[in-house]
């Protein structure tokens, strides 16, 4: 490790990581202590990972910290108004309300919905499992099933673990094939890589190629060597045809992967019907372009295929997500430097023993109305509304806890969900805003703001394109009488299980200790759990848990104070984080499949391929107009439109329409369109642009801030429309249950 730098503590500059998106940029926050205000937010040039990069959202942290609408005290509903209450009363009311439903109707009458910001908060990452266990419900929902669920499932089927996402090695690849992602705007997802503009410029400067497959000529497509328009929802056809060509032209090169990969012949057979000619009328991509791409990818010394939101939130999302890694495997680019690899986080187990091999956690229970399958302990959120409003009286969901989620705007058929939420007997929201979703709660429990608590990026260190570790200090002390997210979760868990928060916290630590120290197979066999516990200290909360994970991890000091290696104390002395080197190959050690090998053709994927084959004929029919989404650099899902520095500028909630479509329909630039789907109808201003593929229109999600009963005074002035009023809860990636949010059939007409 580098020598410790002096710690900047009570001075005006605090270095930490931006908590807002997956890129995890290091920021330097300049603070005026006397006013308890942020002067400015800058990129941290010294950051070991991001080296000064920043996007405009980081400055929004100032607005977020100061936002008068951000909740600071628990709120209790009283009819149509709200009253601030103390924490003790809030915990008492929450526990009593949830317990009474559980006692009368069973644990499964209470559901949970966890939103995206949980992934960015160490308190949630560590304590949500405790909270969920205390509630005891199997009716768990989250933003996963409107996001990466298909990739989690394909990773589980292929590699044995839902979290085993291979990460594209953007900094060393020679050829990057990107499907359904726009990293120049999103700053990357399932790929933590701050400063995508620099990384992509370097890729091209070293002679590498960037190819983007997307129904929109996106910001990323604009700087690519090649862009292919693809019809939404057809990536699985396209990728199968790529695989078809790899086999047909003898382009396979599994290399060392051949020693531990099963199912290559099955994949060959599965791909047989998906020739470039067979899929071209469906995807809109010419056979020769596809063949050229297959050859170029296979011949590149190091290539990486990567798919994100566009490939997940579609009808064949799991197949598309799987095929991305089939392409990587067949060309020998899986687990190869410059291909796709697995990071090695500092908090991961130190030993590279083969992982526990288990059965796939799939369909162990099913949602009530439609029987949608559980995966990895949760159900598809597309089933939430109907399991509230249409399940049998004896088994419907009667209470809901949301934690950092806004499903009314972020999940399909938001109108139906809003109605269902209003019919609940009891609802608690752990959230910092009174918004489209939390306005239905009986109690809103706001945790401290992101700059008022320390953080460790447990999730994103394990998705990073380079191994590194960093601890983020709080910028401000928490206000008097406030609670951190982990404290709220522990208090509620304690209330539900009739114990104390301290007892639950000690229990969690005890479990981790017995897995990491004091036994022959552990990282610290010589050290007793009691001794380790003493060294970790008695302060409750995330710090000592992270300390344990770091010290017992692959880069840890193993609790020897004089030894080199990481501990939380040493990490805290490194305000810019610590670089831990590039990603390195980790197979076959980290495979956790039952066979211990890569499962290239799992039976569930073989079965779903039959569904795809069935769609071959049907998809050639004249298609409807299809709706897709998009993101904007100054926007983050549903919840940052209340921050003045981000909300300003031109109207963003617009419908992009290709000139040919506009002409046919009679739409004009600046005019208004009506968009209708099976479940809803909205109006939006039109932008006519050739960046759209003909037959495809684009509307961003996350808007629609004109509901009654919210406290979002800035967002309300330019509400936009909720695109998920159009998303149809019946349209799913059947295998995983993930919602289709891209490629929704719609009617577009002139509004008025
Ligand atoms: N049509 C369409 N829909 C989509 C998508 C799409 O591309 N198109 N994308 C999907 C994706 S990828 C995702 S991840 C989901 C996101 O879906 P959600 O997670 O449901 O939505 P967010 O907007 O992230 O909501 C965050 C919520 O957390 C609150 N919040 C923010 N910070 C904190 C905090 O620190 N603690 C607590 N307790 N609360 C906090 C906010 O006030 C807000 O209520 O949306 C999905 N929906
Ligand atoms: N500025 C900003 N950054 C964000 C977010 C945000 O809201 N704003 N959200 C964060 C979150 S939660 C996530 S999960 C990530 C998402 O990160 P990305 O996946 O990179 O983000 P998107 O911009 O949604 O990119 C999806 C792309 O898929 C394309 N697409 C739509 N349908 C299809 C299809 O059928 N096939 C193909 N090949 N492409 C298709 C769309 O045109 C779009 O360009 O971004 C994160 N970062
Ligand atoms: S890209 Fe922007 S929002 Fe994302 S971590 Fe970096 S500064 Fe924050
Ligand atoms: Mo997401």
Last residue of a domain, one of 397, 417, 445: 445
CATH of the domain at 696: 2.40.40.20
More confident position, 9 or 418: 418
Identify whether residues 676 and 731 lie together within a single domain.
yes
Q: 176-196: b or e for each residue (b if 16 or more CB lie within 10 Å)?
A: bbbbbbbbbbbbbbbbbbbbb
Asked if residue 269 and residue 123 are part of one domain, the reply reads no
Residue 4's pLDDT is what?
46
pLDDT of residue 611: 96
Mutate to test the pocket of ligand 2, among 25, 214, 239, 702 (most ligand atoms within 8 A of CB): 214
Please indicate, yes or no, whether residues 413 and 332 belong to a single structural domain of this protein.
no
Q: CB neighbours (10 Å) of residue 461?
A: 23
List, for residues 483-535, the tens digit of each pLDDT value: 999 999 999 999 999 999 999 999 999 999 999 999 988 899 999 999 999 99
pLDDT of residue 9: 45
Q: How many independent structural domains does the chain possess?
A: 3
Q: Is there a contact between 203 and 173 (Cβ–Cβ < 8 Å)?
A: yes
Q: What confidence category does residue 3 fall into, taking pLDDT thresholds of 50, 70 and 90?
A: very low
Residue whose Cα lies nearest atom 35 of ligand 2: it is 232
Q: What are the pLDDT digits (tens) for 305-333? A: 999 999 999 999 999 999 999 999 999 99
Which residue segment(s) compose the domain that 744 sits in? 623-750
Single out the residue in 426, 445, 464 at which a domain terminates: 445
Decide if 495 is inside a domain. Answer: no
List pocket residues of ligand 1, CB cut-off 6 Å.
115-117, 121, 143, 146-147, 309, 403-407, 410, 430-433, 435, 447, 450, 485, 629, 637-639, 701, 723-724, 727, 741
User: Residues 741, 742, 745, CA angle at the centre, nearest 5°?
Assistant: 95
| Per-residue pLDDT, 718 | 95
- pLDDT of 520 reads 87
pLDDT at 561: 83
Q: Is residue 451 part of a domain?
A: no
What's residue 10's pLDDT? 47
Report CA(551)–ligand 2 centroid distance (Å): 36
490 inside domain: no
pLDDT, mean of residues 371-388: 98
Answer whether residue 513 is part of any domain.
no
Same domain (yes/no): 646, 739: yes
pLDDT for 137-150, tens place per residue? 999 999 999 999 99
pLDDT tens by residue, 706-724? 999 999 999 999 999 999 9
At residue 549, the pLDDT reads 97
Domain limit, last residue, from 559, 576, 611 = 611
176 and 113 together in one domain? no
**Which atom of ligand 3 approaches the CA of 187 most closely?**
1
Give yes or no for a contact between 720 and 650, defined as CB atoms under 8 angstroms apart.
no
Structural domain contains residue 372: yes
Closest CA to ligand 3's atom 6? 25
CATH number for position 203: 3.40.228.10
Residue 350 has pLDDT above 80, yes or no: yes
**Is residue 707 in contact with ligand 3, taking CB distance under 6 Å?**
no
630 Cα: distance to centroid of ligand 1 (angstroms): 15
The listed range with the strongest mean pLDDT (29-33, 349-353, 373-377) is: 373-377
**For 646-662, what is each residue's pLDDT tens digit?**
999 999 999 999 999 99
Q: Are residues 596 and 711 in the same domain?
A: no
In this model, does residue 353 exceed pLDDT 80? no
Greatest alpha-carbon pair distance for the chain in Å reads: 76
Question: Does residue 191 sit in the same domain as residue 323?
Answer: yes
Q: For residue 690, what pLDDT band results from cuts at 50, 70 and 90?
A: very high
What's the 3-state SS for 296-352? HHHHCCCEEEEECHHHHCCCCHHHHHHHHHHHHHHCCCECCCCCEECCCCCCCCCCC
Residues 70-94 pLDDT 10s: 999 999 999 999 999 999 999 999 9
CA dist 285 and 225 (Å) reads: 16
Q: For residue 59, what are the CA distances in angstroms to 65, 122, 454, 523?
A: 10, 22, 19, 41
639 and 742 share a domain? yes
- Give the confidence band of 11 by pLDDT, cuts at 50, 70, 90: low
Ligand 3 site-directed mutation target among 26, 58, 640, most atoms within 8 Å of CB: 58
Q: Is residue 217 part of a domain?
A: yes
State residue 622's pLDDT score. Answer: 65
Cβ-proximal residues to 518 (8 Å cutoff; 6+ apart), any chain: 524, 525, 527, 528, 529, 532
Global confidence as pTM: 0.97
Question: Mean of the per-residue pLDDT values for the chain?
Answer: 96
Same domain, 410 and 314: no
pLDDT digits (tens, 9 = 90+) for 608-621: 999 999 999 888 77
> What is the per-residue pLDDT across 578-606, written as a single tens digit (0 to 9) for each?
999 999 999 999 999 999 999 999 999 99
What's 398's domain CATH number? 3.40.50.740
Specify if 3 maps to a domain. Answer: no
Residue 54 near ligand 3, beta carbon < 6 Å: yes
Q: What is the tens place of the pLDDT at every residue in 93-128?
A: 999 999 999 999 999 999 999 999 999 999 999 999
Question: Is the pLDDT reported for residue 7 higher than 90?
Answer: no
Same domain as 725, residue 659: yes
Tokens of 61: 């942290």
Best substitution site from 144, 309, 400, 404 to test ligand 1's pocket, by max atoms within 8 Å of Cβ?
404
Whether residue 1 is predicted with pLDDT greater than 60 in this model: the reply is: no
Per-residue confidence (pLDDT) for residue 439, from 0 to 100: 98
pLDDT > 80? residue 623: no
Q: Please give the distance, rounded to the nearest whole angstrom, from the Cα atom of residue 119 to the centre of ligand 4.
A: 10
Ligand 2 site, CB within 6 A:
21-22, 116, 147, 179-183, 185-187, 189, 213-216, 218, 230, 232-233, 235, 308-311, 314, 628-633, 635-637, 742-743
Task: Please tell me the predicted confidence (pLDDT) of residue 472.
Answer: 98
Q: How far is residue 207 from each of residues 87, 175, 410, measured CA to CA in Å?
A: 58, 9, 39
Ligand nearest to the CA of 305: 2
Are residues 323 and 177 both part of a single domain?
yes
Q: Look at residue 83 and give its three-state secondary structure.
A: strand
Domain membership flag for residue 692:
yes
Looking at the structure, do residues 170 and 84 belong to the same domain, yes or no? no
């Amino acid at each position: 490790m580098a020598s410790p730098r002096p710690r900047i503590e009570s001075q005006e500059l605090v270095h930490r990581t931006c908590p807002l998106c997956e890129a995890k940029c290091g920021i330097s926050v300049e603070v005026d202590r006397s006013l308890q205000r942020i002067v400015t937010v800058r990129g941290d040039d010294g950051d070991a990972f991001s080296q000064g990069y920043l996007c405009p959202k980081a400055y929004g942290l100032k607005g977020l910290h100061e936002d008068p609408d951000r909740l600071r005290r628990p709120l209790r509903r009283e009819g149509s108004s709200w009253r601030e209450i103390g924490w003790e009363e809030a915990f008492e009311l929450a526990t009593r309300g949830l317990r009474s439903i559980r006692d009368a109707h069973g644990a499964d009458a209470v559901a949970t919905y966890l939103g995206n910001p949980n992934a960015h908060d160490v308190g949630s990452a560590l304590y949500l499992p405790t909270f969920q266990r205390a509630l005891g419900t199997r009716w768990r929902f989250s933003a996963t099933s409107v996001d990466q669920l298909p990739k989690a499932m394909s990773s589980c089927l292929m590699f044995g673990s839902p979290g085993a996402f291979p990460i594209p090695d953007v900094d060393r690849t020679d050829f990057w094939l990107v499907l359904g992602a726009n990293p120049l705007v999103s700053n990357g997802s399932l790929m933590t890589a701050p400063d995508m503009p620099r990384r992509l410029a370097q890729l091209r400067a070293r002679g590498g190629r960037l190819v983007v497959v997307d129904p929109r000529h996106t910001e990323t497509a604009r700087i690519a060597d090649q862009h292919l328009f693809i019809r939404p929802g057809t990536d699985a056809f396209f990728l199968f045809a790529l695989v078809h060509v790899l086999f047909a032209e003898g382009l396979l090169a599994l290399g060392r992967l051949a020693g531990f990969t099963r199912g290559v012949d099955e994949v060959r057979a599965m791909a047989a019907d998906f020739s470039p000619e067979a899929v071209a009328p469906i995807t809109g991509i010419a056979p020769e372009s596809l063949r050229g791409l297959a050859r170029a990818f296979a011949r590149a010394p190091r290539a990486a295929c990567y798919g994100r939101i566009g490939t997940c939130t579609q009808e064949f999302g799991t197949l598309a997500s799987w095929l991305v890694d089939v392409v990587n495997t067949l060309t020998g680019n899986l687990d190869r430097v410059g291909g796709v690899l697995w990071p090695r986080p500092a908090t991961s187990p130190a030993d590279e023993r083969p992982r526990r091999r288990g059965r796939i956690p799939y369909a162990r229970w099913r949602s009530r109305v439609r029987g949608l399958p559980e995966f990895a302990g949760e159900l598809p959120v597309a089933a939430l509304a109907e399991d509230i409003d249409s399940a049998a009286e004896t088994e419907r969901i009667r209470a809901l806890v949301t934690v950092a989620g806004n499903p009314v705007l972020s999940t399909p058929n938001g109108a139906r969900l809003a109605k269902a939420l209003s019919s609940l007997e009891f609802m608690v929201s752990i959230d910092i805003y009174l918004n489209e979703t939390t306005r239905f709660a009986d109690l809103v429990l706001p945790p401290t703001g992101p700059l008022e608590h320390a953080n460790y990026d447990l999730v994103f260190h394990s998705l990073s394109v380079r191994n590194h570790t960093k601890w983020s200090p709080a910028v401000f002390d928490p206000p008097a009488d406030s609670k951190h997210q982990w404290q709220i979760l522990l208090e509620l868990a304690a209330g539900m299980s009739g114990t104390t928060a301290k007892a639950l916290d000690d229990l969690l630590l005890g479990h981790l200790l017995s897995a990491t120290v004091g036994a022959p197979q552990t990282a610290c066999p010589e050290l007793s759990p009691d001794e380790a516990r003493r060294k970790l200290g008695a302060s409750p909360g995330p710090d000592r848990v992270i300390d344990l994970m770091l010290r017992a991890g692959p880069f840890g000091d193993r609790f020897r104070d004089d030894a080199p290696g990481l501990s939380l104390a040493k990490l805290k002395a490194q305000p810019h984080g610590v670089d831990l080197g590039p990603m390195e190959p980790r197979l076959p050690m980290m495979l956790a499949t039952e066979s211990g090998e890569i499962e290239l053709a799992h039976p569930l994927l073989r079965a779903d391929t039959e569904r795809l084959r069935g769609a071959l004929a049907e998809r050639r029919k004249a298609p409807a107009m299809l709706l897709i989404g998009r993101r904007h650099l100054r926007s983050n899902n549903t919840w940052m439109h209340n921050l003045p520095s981000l909300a300003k500028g031109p109207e963003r909630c617009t419908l992009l329409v290709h000139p040919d479509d506009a002409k046919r329909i009679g739409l004009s630039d600046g005019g208004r369109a009506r968009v209708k789907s099976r479940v809803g109808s909205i109006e939006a201003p039109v932008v006519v642009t050739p960046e759209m593929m003909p037959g495809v229109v684009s509307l961003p999600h996350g808007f629609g801030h004109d509901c009654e009963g919210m406290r979002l005074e800035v967002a309300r002035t330019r509400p936009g429309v909720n695109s998920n009023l159009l998303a149809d809860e019946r349209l799913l990636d059947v295998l995983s249950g993930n919602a289709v949010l891209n490629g929704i059939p719609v009617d577009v007409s002139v509004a008025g």
